[in-house]
Amino acid sequence: MVKLSRSKLYLALILTLAVVLFGTIGYRFISDYSWIDALYMTIITMATVGFKEVQPLDDTAKIFTVFLIIVSVFILGFAISVLTEYVLGRNSLQLLKKKRVKNKINNLSNHVIVCGFGRNGMQAAERLKAYKQPFVVIERQRDIIERYEEEIFFVEGDANEDEVLEEAGIYDAKYLIVALPDDAANLFVVLSARQLNETLFIISRASLVTSQKKLLLAGANKVIMPDKIGGDHMASLVVMPDLITFMDKLSTEGEHTTNLEEVSIEDFADQIECNSLRDLDLRKKTGCTIIGYIAPDGNYIINPEADMALEPKSKVIVLGRPEQIRKLNEMFHIDLS
């Protein structure tokens, strides 16, 4: 629809310029006007403003003027209608897009809200998309939204405003990633979000060490300092390069999945008896190795014993090649979406 209106807009512009050129040449040679006078006569004739002609017209020039007026009325009428259609069409399309996105956001639950689509927000969105996690991005810069709106659900506005957070589905969301470049703005968003949803898991970005404690007090569950992580990572590459490179390989996205997977015990319990890690026997069945256990109270155990008893609502962390992870998910019907 927009493409069709745009082609009609170009046609109207070409026809209008053609009439101007036709009138200017006509007056130049029929009435022997200068090029400026000929252009002036053409414009006032097309616009029908009623200004006096440059010099008296003979019969041939009058007939030409009548013809030019008739043609101009039709061409300008067409151009105005096309321009109106184009403007209204774009506005209507934008309204329809916003309404469709709003309806989709309203149907989301347990989704992730990302505040800010800068460097960190963009990286978070890319990883969430790779993991097929539903998410909404709050961004106030219109040019950024227009660039990525075909791929991502956006809510245009300031994340500091409660109305914008509500529009993003703050009451039904499960996670909030606050990735604004300013620590003060992040602090305000965390405070607002915690008041609106007490069960929300909030992850906030921080630039200064002094901001970390304030963000935690304001209600953030986790505070990430990208600059500190980057510095630690670079230093670790000097001290133990092979180990860090190996860890990077584990965290890198494969073609369809990753090398690490976090699986709830409930995903196994419905299909096999799993009182201990030995009962799962994932190494033999899928090739994956259990390298970690997360107890219901959040306690992490690295390289757990095979006889460790499994508790309800606990999780295991498995390591494997992409094809082994896929086999695990298919065997136990684990839905990652």
Same domain for 66 and 23: yes
In contact, 153 and 135? CB cutoff 8 Å: yes
Same domain for 116 and 99: no
Same domain for 118 and 68: no
Same domain for 156 and 98: no
Same domain for 89 and 149: no
Q: What are the tens digits of pLDDT across the range 82-128?
A: 777 776 666 555 666 677 778 888 899 999 999 999 999 999 999 89
220 inside domain: yes
Instruction: Give the C-alpha separation, 312 to 119, whole Å.
Output: 38
Instruction: Give the C-alpha separation, 180 to 187, whole Å.
Output: 10
Q: What is the pLDDT of residue 258?
A: 63
Structural domain of 291: 257-331
Split into its structural domains, the chain has a count of 3
Tell me which residue of 108, 112, 101, 103 sits closest to 137, measured CA to CA: 112
Model-level pTM?
0.62
Angle, to 10 degrees, between the axis of helix 241-251 and the axis of helix 226-239?
130
- CATH number of the domain that residue 313 is part of: 3.30.70.1450
Same domain for 127 and 226: yes
Same domain for 123 and 93: no
Same domain for 130 and 98: no
What is the identity of the amino acid at 83? L
Instruction: Mark which of 72, 87, 103 sits at the end of a domain.
Output: 103
223 inside domain: yes
Q: What is the pLDDT of residue 294?
A: 92
Instruction: Give the C-alpha separation, 293 to 306, whole Å.
Output: 11
Q: What are the tens digits of pLDDT across the range 184-203?
A: 999 999 999 999 999 999 99
* Segments in the chain below pLDDT 70: 1-6, 50, 87-97, 250-258, 335-337
Secondary structure E strands in 119-264: 135-139, 154-156, 175-178, 201-205, 222-224, 260-264
247 inside domain: no
- CATH number of the domain that residue 58 is part of: 1.10.287.70
Task: Report the DSSP pairing between strands 300-302 and 289-294.
Answer: antiparallel
Same domain for 211 and 278: no
Instruction: Mark which of 103, 128, 149 sits at the end of a domain.
Output: 103
Same domain for 49 and 14: yes
